[in-house]
């Protein structure tokens, strides 16, 4: 299972509308509004990265999305790593 995080810059005041639209995308597992340079972070999951790439391109085309930064994960969550793993 591929996992990708995407940071989104959104038109001012449109964060709730964008999060609502993102909820309709099957691959979006979580969405959080942020304070700072970016306005929203989403977590995508899918079987193949090329499928997620299509979803990311669709998100980039959304009217209220100004820019994105995509981060591809390569490791399990911190909580699943044992203390003796290196």
Whole-model pTM over 0.75:
yes
Q: How many CB atoms lie within 10 A of CB 43?
A: 15
Summarize pLDDT for 10-54 with one digit per residue, the tens.
999 999 999 999 999 999 999 999 999 999 999 999 999 999 999
Strand boundaries in 1-86, DSSP class E: 2-10, 28-33, 40-46, 65-72
pLDDT band at 82 (very low <50, low <70, confident <90, very high): low
**End-to-end CA separation in angstroms for the chain:** 22
Residue 5: name the closest of 28, 22, 24 by CA. 28
What is the model's pLDDT at position 73? 87
CATH architecture, range 2-76: 2-Layer Sandwich (3.30)
Rounded distance between C-alpha atoms, residue 34 and residue 12, angstroms = 13
Residue whose tokens read 């977590």 = 43
Alpha-carbon 78 to chain mean position: 18
């Amino acid at each position: 299972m591929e996992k990708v995080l995407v940071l989104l810059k959104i038109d001012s005041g449109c964060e709730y509308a964008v999060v609502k639209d993102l909820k309709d995308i099957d691959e979006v597992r979580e969405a959080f509004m942020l304070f700072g340079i970016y306005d929203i972070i989403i977590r995508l999951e899918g079987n193949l990265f090329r499928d997620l790439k299509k979803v990311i391109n669709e998100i980039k085309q959304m009217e209220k999305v100004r820019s994105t930064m995509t981060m591809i994960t390569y490791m399990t969550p911190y909580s699943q790593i044992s203390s003796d793993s290196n």
